[in-house]
Amino acid sequence: MSGAEDTPPDDPADDPGDDTPRPARSHGRVSIAAQAARQGNRPRDLMADPDAWTANVITLFPDAFPGVLGLSLTGRALALGLWRLESIDLRAFGVGKHRNVDDTPAGGGAGMVIRADVMAAALDRADPALPIIYLSPRGAPLTQARVRQLSQGPGVTLICGRFEGVDQRILDARGIEEISIGDYVLTGGELAAQVLIDAAVRLIPRVVGNQASLTEESFSEGLLEHPQYTRPSEWEGRRIPDVVMSGNHAAIAAWRREQAERLTKERRPDLWRAYEGRATGATMDPTKDRQLSGASHQAGQHPAHDKDEPR
């Protein structure tokens, strides 16, 4: 084993001699309801909705959650019970005196790999009704369409990778989907998990107050968003375009559409091709689209994890 993550925990509650897995941590309204129950009082407005959209997160760092998800709109929605968050500590399912979760790669190589049996035990603690996603640089790119699908379901179980990744056998055995948030490598999947959760939660009804804003942002119609402006009308010699200030709503809408199309053509030719393809019914070329999007090395040309960081 290598790295501080493989040392025995210092918390007495994590006594390495105790093989009993610790319970998953609940966040937001779930924990509030539990506290009220201990006090002999469970107000109706603090009781968790069992049908709320739920994110189960399997991680070696449960204290990373809710993180930024506990702030602003997502944090308020969590407190109101519009969605639920359960962090499952992978270390609790480790083996041996030190609760090891990883081992050396079969066939040799640098780093460590998370064991299939350990991950399987953690997954058994998650809601079996939820789809399972492993955050991985070799996964399919996360898209707004996939986020929307997830937001309309019961929730998701997310695996936060560390070290050199996860034993392929557990991914195959459980039919786990792999998703990437971009063509770069992080030290772990916790940030990626928070990105996916944030993107999905904001689409849940009542989370974002102005639902109309969701239909006007980037990717809602397959295009990047048009430029936005606000007061003052002139700043450092730069004026808001006259058409935007004209009060002619038809002209403003046409200008915004033109700008959205221009930006998409210039910055995301892959999105533009897909947009045109939907309009004309043309058959897409997946290989060319991956090249245009810069996603051609999602398929594994780059290492799944940073070899210089214990994960």
Domain CATH code at residue 243: 1.10.1270.20
124 and 196 in a single domain? The answer is: yes
57 and 161 in a single domain? The answer is: yes
d(CA 42, CA 79): 15
253 and 187 in a single domain? The answer is: no
Annotated binding site for S-adenosyl-L-methionine: 161, 181-186
- Domain membership of residue 228 as a residue range: 215-295
- Flag whether 179 is in a domain: yes
9 and 157 in a single domain? The answer is: yes
- 51 close to 60: Cβ distance less than 8 angstroms: no
72 and 173 in a single domain? The answer is: yes
Domain CATH code at residue 70: 3.40.1280.10
95 and 153 in a single domain? The answer is: yes
- Flag whether 73 is in a domain: yes
143 and 276 in a single domain? The answer is: no
**3-state per-residue secondary structure call for the chain:** CCCHHHCCCCCHHHCCCCCCCCCCEEECHHHHHHHHHHCCCCCHHHCCCCCCEEEEEEECCHHHCCHHHHCHHHHHHHHHCCEEEEEEEHHHHCECCCCECEECCCCCCCCCEECHHHHHHHHCCCCCCCCEEEEEEEEEECCHHHHHHHHCCCEEEEEECCCCCECHHHHHHCCCEEEECCCCCCCCCHHHHHHHHHHHHCCCCCCCCCHHHHHCCCCCCCCCCCCCCCCCCEECCEECCHHHHCCCHHHHHHHHHHHHHHHHHHHCHHHHHHHHHHHHCCCCCHHHHHHHHCCHHHHCCCCCCCCCCCC
- Flag whether 307 is in a domain: no
Last residue of a domain, one of 166, 201, 236: 201
Which pLDDT does position 28 carry in this prediction?
56
Annotated binding site: 161, 181-186
156 and 228 in a single domain? The answer is: no
222 and 166 in a single domain? The answer is: no
Which pLDDT does position 23 carry in this prediction?
55
Which pLDDT does position 140 carry in this prediction?
97
- Flag whether 150 is in a domain: yes
pLDDT (tens place) for every residue of the chain, 311 residues total = 333 333 333 443 444 445 555 557 777 544 333 333 333 333 333 345 789 999 999 999 999 999 999 999 999 999 999 999 999 999 999 999 999 999 999 999 999 999 999 999 999 999 999 999 999 999 999 999 999 999 999 999 999 999 999 999 999 999 999 999 999 999 999 999 999 999 999 999 999 976 655 555 556 688 999 999 999 999 999 999 999 999 999 999 999 999 999 999 999 999 999 999 987 877 656 555 555 544 433 333 333 444 433 33
Which pLDDT does position 212 carry in this prediction?
54
174 and 50 in a single domain? The answer is: yes
- Flag whether 209 is in a domain: no
144 and 253 in a single domain? The answer is: no
- Flag whether 82 is in a domain: yes
Which pLDDT does position 279 carry in this prediction?
79
- Flag whether 208 is in a domain: no
24 and 146 in a single domain? The answer is: yes
Which pLDDT does position 48 carry in this prediction?
56
Q: How many domains does the chain have?
A: 2
- Flag whether 91 is in a domain: yes
Last residue of a domain, one of 145, 172, 201: 201
